[in-house]
A and B are shown apart, each in its own frame.
Chain A
Amino acid sequence: MAPKAPKAPKAQPKAPDPPEEYPTISAKLQAEYLASRPYQVLKDTKGLSNLSASEKAAYANYRFLETGVWKTWGAAQQKEFLKTVETQKIPTPLPLPRDLGRDNKGREIASYTPEGFAQFRKKERQLSGLRRESARFRERREKARRKQKGRGIEDSEGEIEDERNRRKFIGVLQGKKMGIYEGDPRWDDVVPIPQDDGEGALAAIAYSDEYAEAMGYLRAVMAAKEHSPRVLDLTEHIISMNAAHYTVWLYRASTLFALEYPIDKELSWVNEVALENQKNYQIWHHRQLLIDTLYPTISSDPTAIHALETSERDFMTQMFDQDAKNYHVWSYRQYLVRKLNLFNTTELQSIEVLLRSDVRNNSAWSHRFFVVFSDPAYCTPGSAATAHDPRIPADIADREIGFAKAATFEAPQNQSPWNYIRGVLRKAGRELASLEAFAEEFVKLPSESGEGEDVRSSHALDFLADVWAEKDETAKADTALRLLGDKYDRIRRNYWEWRRGLLDAGVEGKMKGLSVEDVS
């Protein structure tokens, strides 16, 4: 069907008046869409049969335009058609507004205000510019790296700083911060290895992006066996989030040694970490590895050894300020005493300071026993803690008994010094009975009429029960054990009854008794 000759339309149809402001971009696009089809709107509102002839003609031409049918016509006819369209002022119909999708926060972009949408578009343009720039930077670095075979690419500080800022800006624009390593050009050559944990992998990312990202980079450097300064930064970062991660410590140690990193610097860093992670034990093994490495380099320098002794003791004092019974610290301390040969008065004095602030600190008592009775200056090498050592000087034994005695007067119900006294007597090969009078200061057995009973320490009573059994004063021993089971330590009644049974068994009992030689 050929279009009629063009005629100036009598009445130009008008699209509905556009409102001053559109509430959303989608409303605006919809209005523009309709505004580009005035004859369609006219037809829809008036109905085809009510259109004038010229309006009908314009509507038909609009349809040709919309459907694209005119493109199938001959060239002359097309030219004629376009001219008519121009004279009839039929606008080119805009395509149906496309779905704008959602932004990275899940919001429908169609619901943006027109101004918001304009800003969004501007941001998108900026972003793609920055991304292009960033990609060029990476490409350039990658090429340089390949040239240098992966080692030591030179970049100006400024260039790296620019790129870091660029990535920060990308993060801001996309509304999602870039990961620390993803945003740091120095890590571009590393492809992080994500957690391989089956179906949980996705959820894994959700818990903490920072931890997950850092672990991904750690897996990658470990796989590449990279030992470089940046690995120290990475492991420090991970340890600050999770000091219990065993593998991280090991990898840090191997990196330190590979780099020949200064041990004293590492020690002071480890101090900080230990103070913040009281319960962590990986730190203490790490510390031992450091000392083992450091020691051979200073072993012939008494000043350096002394300085190390002092700084280590100061550090442990800080640890003990927080928890004076921290088992890891005490084990480490024994290691250090052996390693640096700290069987000296300074060591004993620093234990005394701790016991003065808490006489019930069993760890300090135990350490004292170790220091006093392992001192190579006078102890038999290899003498077991439970064995009599004939080389222990009498004055040392006296000193230790005196020290423990004083502590029992301070806190009679504190079991540590009582155990300590038994240990010292054993080491020195003395009988328990040698301290009978001392123990009796805490105990008055009741008279036959049951009067005058005064027990200030169940441990003293226990001690005396052994003394009296040793001396065959069975009746007194029996009374003591009965009092313990019935009154002073009822929760362990069965134990005290068993001890009483040993008294009845007489000689046999003595053989099994607590005061006999240790098996080992």
Chain B
Amino acid sequence: MSLVSGPGRAASSALPDEIQLAIEPHVKYIQSLDSRRNELEYWLTEHLRLSGLYWGLTALHLLGRPDALSRDETIEFILSCQNENGGFGAAPGHDAHLLSTLSAVQVLATVDALDELDERGKGDKEGGGKLAVGKYIANLQNRETGTFAGDEWGEEDTRFLYASLNALSLLLLLHLVNVNKAVDYVVSCANFDGGYGVSPGAESHSGQIFACLAALNIAGRIDLVNVDKLGRWLSERQVDGGGLNGRPEKLEDVCYSWWVASSLTMIGKLHWIDGGKLTEFILKCQDTKQGGIADRPGDMVDVFHTHFGIAGLSLLGYPGLEEVDAVYCMPKKVIERVLGPNK
């Protein structure tokens, strides 16, 4: 999936009240992304290819168009990114990384093809191909602190911790890691302002908060969150234009709108912000003709913000969209199929 931005650009001027989500153009936009191989940027964003597929595919599912990308080709591509160690790289021939491994698992779960791992996956398949992926992830846990590295080189980030718990839970393999230690680590990242950062002591950041909350949610330990204090900080992220920012005094952005809104959802406080105004902000970031959503009005569209914009609208109950799961950022239907209705 191409991460190339454009060609469209979100409208910049005020839009009429009755502005709608441009579903068909968005579908076409996402479908067209992989045909842009002759552009340099397509290759410069190769390190995000697999995640790009997750973003595009999930957006299509939420738009109610799950068949807009070929299922067979999707599975083929995912499997072609797997390394011998069981993990997935961003594209064929790339080193395995936790983030692309999560995207691979999410995509396979979405198209109901996790079993393909057992049949055609790589890695040490004693016990099955899913287990091979699970073992790759489990090996990245720092058994002392409980957190996770993104790869064999040891970069640590609460996003990696979330990615691990997310993927392992979808594979039904959470028992491979020390979940309690992971929970302890997340708790140690809580800040004085109620938020969470990339590591203990690091500034609160909406994206990291999403990762920490979702990890606690998967671990069944959302009770460890100071909900009121965090909800207060999160709701302060809404700016007058209706969009949400990632940190105080930063510009609003569609992707942060997702991270903040989904976090508020996880702690049951989404109603603390003005959902109507947020909806309006996201809709203003669309290119209604050529499809795609940008980070803010007037900027170039890209698949990343298209995905998070649509997911945000789904969270806000925008009519006609499939319901999104706030923790997994995948269609709720898929999560229920994989984990059962009372996950």
Contacts and interface: CB of A to CB of B under 8 A. Distances in A.
Contacts of B172: none
Contact of A415 (B90, B190, B202, B236): B236
B331 interface: no
B153 A285 contact: yes
A246 B205 contact: no
Contacts of B249: 325, 360-362, 414, 416
B38 A491 contact: no
B97 A495 contact: no
Contact of B153 (A204, A250, A366, A493): A250
Given A250-B95, A250-B153, A492 B39 contact: no
Given A422-B192, A492-B236, A514-B229, A327 B203 contact: yes
Q: Which of B37, B205, B233 has the most CB of A within 10 A?
A: B37
A327 B232 CA distance: 22
A487 to B, nearest CB: 14
A491 B37 contact: no
The number of chain A residues touching the other chain, given as a range, is 35 or more
Contacts of A518: 190, 226, 229
Interface string B150-194: 010101000000000000000000000000000000011011111
Interface string B61-98: 00000000000000000000000000001111111010
Contact of A247 (B95, B155, B233): B95
B250 to A, nearest CB: 7
Contacts of B274: 491-493
B40 A419 contact: no
Interface string A98-120: 00000000000000000000000
B57 to A, nearest CB: 18
A427 B192 contact: yes
Contacts of B317: none
A384 B247 CA distance: 21
Contacts of A325: 247, 249-250
Given A208-B40, A514-B232, A370 B226 contact: no
Given A384-B188, A495-B272, A423 B39 contact: no
A458 B232 CA distance: 14
A27 B57 CA distance: 61
B272 A426 contact: no
Given A325-B250, A518-B226, A200 B37 contact: yes
A518 B232 CA distance: 14
A427 B192 CA distance: 9
A181 interface: no
Contacts, number: 155
A366 to B, nearest CB: 4
B187 A384 contact: yes
B203 A362 contact: yes
Contact of B92 (A197, A241, A362, A513): A197
A513 B247 contact: no
A360 B247 CA distance: 11
A77 interface: no
B190 A330 contact: no
Contacts of A244: 44-45, 47
Interface in B199-254: 199-205, 223-226, 228-229, 231-233, 235-236, 238, 240, 242, 247-250
Contact of B238 (A247, A288, A492): A492
A385 B226 CA distance: 13
Contacts of B192: 369, 373, 385-386, 419-420, 422-423, 426-427
B273 interface: yes
Given A330-B202, A520-B190, A196 B92 contact: yes
A427 B44 CA distance: 46
B206 to A, nearest CB: 11
B318 interface: no
A197 B89 CA distance: 14
Contact of A520 (B38, B198, B200, B226): B226
B248 A360 contact: yes
Interface string B39-54: 1101111110000000
Nearest to A462: B232
A78 interface: no
A419 B190 CA distance: 14
A519 interface: yes
B179 to A, nearest CB: 17
A73 interface: no
B337 interface: no
Contacts of B91: 197
A370 B201 contact: yes
B201 A494 contact: no
Nearest to B48: A244
Interface of A: 196-197, 200, 203-204, 206-208, 211-212, 219, 241-242, 244-247, 250, 253, 285, 288-289, 325, 327, 330-331, 334-335, 360-363, 366-367, 369-370, 373-374, 384-386, 414-416, 419-420, 422-423, 426-427, 491-495, 498, 512-514, 518-520
11 contacts: A204-B43, A212-B43, A219-B93, A250-B151, A325-B250, A363-B203, A385-B190, A416-B248, A419-B193, A491-B238, A492-B272
Q: Which 8 A-B residue pairs are closest in the complex by CB-CB distance?
A: A423-B192, A366-B203, A495-B272, A370-B201, A362-B248, A285-B155, A419-B193, A203-B37
Interface of B: 37-40, 42-47, 89-95, 97, 151, 153, 155, 187-188, 190-194, 197-205, 223-226, 228-229, 231-233, 235-236, 238, 240, 242, 247-250, 269, 271-274, 277
Given A370-B202, A518-B190, 17 more contacts: A207-B43, A208-B40, A212-B43, A289-B153, A331-B198, A334-B201, A363-B247, A366-B193, A384-B188, A385-B200, A416-B249, A491-B242, A495-B235, A495-B273, A512-B228, A519-B225, A520-B226
